[in-house]
Amino acid sequence: MEFDNTLSSDVLIYHILSDCDNPVINRHMIAFQAQSNIENENDCIFIDHISNQYNKQTSDSDHFLATVELIITNRNSDYEIASEAINLCIKQIKKVLRNNIEIQRRQLKIMSSITSYSDDCILNRNLTLQLNEMDVYSLEEDFSDLDILFGGIELNVQ
C-alpha cells in the first residue's frame, strides 16, 4: 500500500476524530487550536501542529517526524470527575487512531501526557503525538497544489 501524503498529520487526525462514530469522542467539540473558542463549550479536543523534524531524504521525498498535540479539556469543577472524563476520552482517542490504517502507516507514538489547569479552572490534558510524514516531490512541473490554494483560478506560472 502506498503512503498517503495528501494530508498533514494534524489535518488527518482532525478528520479521523470528526468523522468517527465513537460516542465519547462525539461529545467533544473538535477544532484546531487556532480556531479555539471554549467559552460556551464543555468538553473540547483541540488539535495543534507543533513541528516537523527532518528525518531523511530520498531521491523524490523528504521524511519528517511530525509532532502534533491534542488538548483535551473539561470544565467540570470536580477534579476527580473531570480527570476521569479526560482519561476515558484519551483511551477512546488512542483506540480510534490506532485502528486507522493511515495512522498505522505513520507509526503513531504517544510522546507525553501533561495535565494542567487553565486560568479559568478548566482541566486540560495535553497529549503529544509523533508521526512519520513524507513530502513527495518531482522534478517535473506540478501545479496541483496551486489549484488547492486558489480554487481553480487559472494561473500563468513561469
Boundaries of every domain in the chain: 9-149
Q: Would the CA dihedral through 104, 109, 113, 118 be positive or negative?
A: negative
Comparing 10-19, 106-115, 129-138, the range with the smallest average pLDDT is: 129-138
Which residue's entry shows cell 468523522? Answer: 19
Say how far apart CA 32 and CA 49 lie, in whole Å.
9
Residue 141's contacts (CB-CB under 8 Å, 6 or more residues apart) are: none
- Has residue 19 got a pLDDT over 90? yes
Say how far apart CA 29 and CA 25 lie, in whole Å.
8
Instruction: Answer whether 122's CB lies under 8 Å from 29's CB.
Output: no
Pairing status of strand 123-136 against strand 61-74 = antiparallel
pTM over 0.85: no
What fold characterizes domain 9-149? STM4215-like (3.30.2000)
Q: Phi/psi of residue 68, each to 5°?
A: -125, 140
- Has residue 1 got a pLDDT over 50? no
- Has residue 141 got a pLDDT over 60? no
pLDDT digits (tens, 9 = 90+) for 78-132: 889 999 999 999 999 999 999 999 999 999 999 999 988 876 778 899 999 999 8
152, three cell numbers: 481553480
